[in-house]
Amino acid sequence: MLNGALIGCGFFAQNQLHGWAGCDGARITAICDRDPQRLAATGERFGIARRYSDAAEMLAAEDLDFVDIATTVPSHRPLVEMAARAGLHVICQKPFADTLEDARAMVHAVEAAGRRLMVHENFRWQSPIRAAIEAVRGGAIGTPFFGRISFRSGYDVFSGQPYLATDPRFIIQDLGIHILDIARALLGDVTHLAASTTRINPDIKGEDVATMLLDHKGATSVVDCSYATRRTPETFPETLIEIDGDTGTLRLEAGYRLTIQSAGAEDVRDLSPPLLPWAERPWHNIQESVQIIQQHFVDCIGQGREPETSGRDNLKTLALVEAAYASAAARSRVALA
């Protein structure tokens, strides 16, 4: 049994603590938040008595195997480096870092300590999306040459996460990062990217619409994201996928309906995710993915292998975020290193 501590008891950490309670082979034995009210409320809610307002104090006092960092981005690098110095495996929430320099430093720190680092990049672990990824990787539609990965919604994300309204970067950094990661998982690494962004909501600081064109090796994809799209039915928080391959097509449509057409045959599946006992609609697909990615981390530690969504892997997703902002600002296509 791995013993872990969670740092950051905010909005999303509640899902992470529920997820850990359902994971085999790991448990959370201590929590930390510098906000005493959030710390107390979360400790009471999940029956965790070992509580700290200071992460360094917690790592010095507790006997741990890993930390799960659920804070917002400014604290990620110092906390990851602190955990590496303590010789712990680490999970860090997305966005992993504000800059690639910070991200590389975190990867280096944990690798130098001989431990595993996973970014909590959970969207590619949503079970309907995972089924699409596995079908494409398994050759169900031959060699893919086109993809569209789309997230369009009018959902008010600012009430639960007020910091999203004030950051100069919004949709690409917060949500597009997941959708770009799905594009990588489906179609492989990216050589060039062109992005166009705009802000429709006058009450926020950053962009709430982004349209991106990606060249992968052998395929092209469109990644389009919007939090300004008012439509019925509202599809939040579903990611919709279309992939064309040289022998067939795959569609993941609203309502978690997966259709694969190949060689004259059609396979239609209802991939509605289960509603876990602690989950609530419409978030249940994301909540399920939290438990799946945590189990993946625990299994990787046990088997001595690198998580699929490792810190090192996430450098490539983060590079797409940087490229998208650079492309939108310069109104030009950007080459990835």
Ligand X SMILES: NC(=O)c1ccc[n+]([C@@H]2O[C@H](COP(=O)([O-])OP(=O)(O)OC[C@H]3O[C@@H](n4cnc5c(N)ncnc54)[C@H](O)[C@@H]3O)[C@@H](O)[C@H]2O)c1
Compute how many other C-beta atoms are within 10 angstroms of the C-beta atom of residue 194. Answer: 17
Q: Please, what is the end-to-end C-alpha distance for the chain in angstroms?
A: 40
- Minimum separation from the CB atom of position 160 to ligand X (A): 7
**Contacts (CB under 6 A) with ligand X, residues 253-292:** 286
Using CB under 6 A as the binding rule, whether residue 33 contacts ligand X is answered as yes
- Minimum separation from the CB atom of position 227 to ligand X (A): 13
Residue pair 158/174 in contact (Cβ under 8 Å)? The answer is: no
Rounded Cα–Cα distance for residues 199 and 209 (Å): 6
Kindly tell me which residue out of 35, 57, 101, 306 binds ligand X, with binding defined by CB under 6 A.
35
Using CB under 6 A as the binding rule, whether residue 12 contacts ligand X is answered as yes
For residue 201, how many C-alpha atoms fall within 13 Å in the half-sphere facing its CB? 23
Using CB under 6 A as the binding rule, whether residue 32 contacts ligand X is answered as yes
Q: Quick one: DSSP state of residue 143?
A: S
Q: Taking contact as CB under 6 A, which single stretch among the options 10-18, 146-154, 226-234, 319-327 is the one that binds ligand X?
A: 10-18
**Residue closer to ligand X (CB basis): 215 or 234:** 234
Q: What's the angle, vertex CA 178, arms to CA 174 and CA 183, rounded to 5?
A: 140
Kindly list the strands in the beta sheet with 89-93, ordered across the sheet, starting from the edge strand earlier in the chain: 51-52, 26-32, 2-7, 66-69, 89-93, 117-120
- Minimum separation from the CB atom of position 55 to ligand X (A): 5
Rounded Cα–Cα distance for residues 32 and 101 (Å): 26
Please state the φ and ψ torsions of residue 259, each to the nearest 5 degrees. -125, 125
**DSSP assignment string, 34-66:** SSHHHHHHHHHHHT---EES-HHHHHHHS--SE
- Minimum separation from the CB atom of position 86 to ligand X (A): 14
Q: Taking contact as CB under 6 A, which single stretch among the options 71-79, 146-154, 224-232, 255-263 is the one that binds ligand X?
A: 71-79
**Residue closer to ligand X (CB basis): 57 or 134:** 57
- Each residue 84-103 as x (binds ligand X by CB under 6 A) or -, in order, gives ---------xxx--------
**Contacts (CB under 6 A) with ligand X, residues 295-324:** none
- Minimum separation from the CB atom of position 112 to ligand X (A): 22
Q: Taking contact as CB under 6 A, which single stretch among the options 1-9, 98-106, 220-228, 325-333 is the one that binds ligand X?
A: 1-9
**What separation in angstroms does the CA of 252 have from each of 118, 130, 271, 305?**
27, 11, 9, 30
Using CB under 6 A as the binding rule, whether residue 55 contacts ligand X is answered as yes
Rounded Cα–Cα distance for residues 163 and 82 (Å): 25
Tell me the site size for ligand X, rule CB under 6 A.
27
**Residue closer to ligand X (CB basis): 10 or 22:** 10
Strand partners, 267: 260
Kindly tell me which residue out of 29, 71, 197, 229 binds ligand X, with binding defined by CB under 6 A.
71
Residues that bind ligand X (CB under 6 A): 7-13, 32-35, 38, 55, 70-73, 75, 79, 93-95, 120, 122, 161, 174, 286
